[in-house]
Amino acid sequence: MIFPYNFTYIISYRHSIERLNNLRRVLEWANGFSGAEVIVVEQDKHSTLKDINLNCRHIFVKTAMPFNKSWGFNIGLKAANSGIIVFGDSDLVMDPQQFIESVKMLNQYEMVNPYNSVIDLNAQESQMNFAQISAISRPGRGETDIQKVPLCGGICIFRREAIEKIGGWHEDFIGWGGEDDFQSVKVKAFLTWHENAAKCYHLHHERVSPDMKWYQRNLQLLQKLSGMSKDELRKVINNVVPKSGLKYKYDNF
pTM flag (> 0.85)? yes
Evaluate whether 96 touches 29 at the Cβ level (below 8 Å). Answer: yes
Q: How far is residue 206's CA from residue 197's CA, in Å, rounded to a whole number?
A: 27
The model's pLDDT over 62-74, given as tens digits with 9 standing for 90+, comes to 999 899 999 999 9
Torsion 13-15-20-22 (CA) sign: negative
Cα-to-chain-centroid distance, residue 23: 13
Domain boundaries, the chain: 7-243
DSSP state, residue 237:
H
Q: What average pLDDT score do residues 132-161 get?
A: 87
Whether pLDDT at 250 is above 90: no
> What's the chain's average pLDDT?
92
Q: How far is residue 40's CA from residue 36's CA, in Å, rounded to a whole number?
A: 13
| Measured CA distances, 176 to 69, 153, 173, 238 (Å) | 8, 12, 8, 24
Cα-to-chain-centroid distance, residue 167: 15
pLDDT at 230: 97
pLDDT at 2: 47
DSSP state, residue 68:
-
Q: How far is residue 55's CA from residue 33's CA, in Å, rounded to a whole number?
A: 13
Evaluate whether 203 touches 26 at the Cβ level (below 8 Å). Answer: yes
Whether pLDDT at 1 is above 50: no
| Measured CA distances, 155 to 22, 27, 73, 113, 150 (Å) | 15, 14, 12, 7, 10
Evaluate whether 25 touches 213 at the Cβ level (below 8 Å). Answer: no
Q: What does the H/E/C string look like for 74-121? A: HHHHHHCCCCEEEEECCCEEECHHHHHHHHHHHHCCCEEECCCEEEEC
Q: How far is residue 119's CA from residue 153's CA, in Å, rounded to a whole number?
A: 14
Q: What average pLDDT score do residues 127-145 get?
A: 88
Q: How far is residue 232's CA from residue 228's CA, in Å, rounded to a whole number?
A: 6
Does CATH place domain 7-243 in 3.40.50.10790? no
Q: What average pLDDT score do residues 235-246 get?
A: 94
Q: 213 pLDDT band (50/70/90 cuts)?
A: confident
Torsion, CA 103, CA 19, CA 170, CA 86, rounded to 10: -10
Whether pLDDT at 209 is above 70: no
Whether pLDDT at 151 is above 70: yes
> Which H or E run contains 164?
helix 160-165
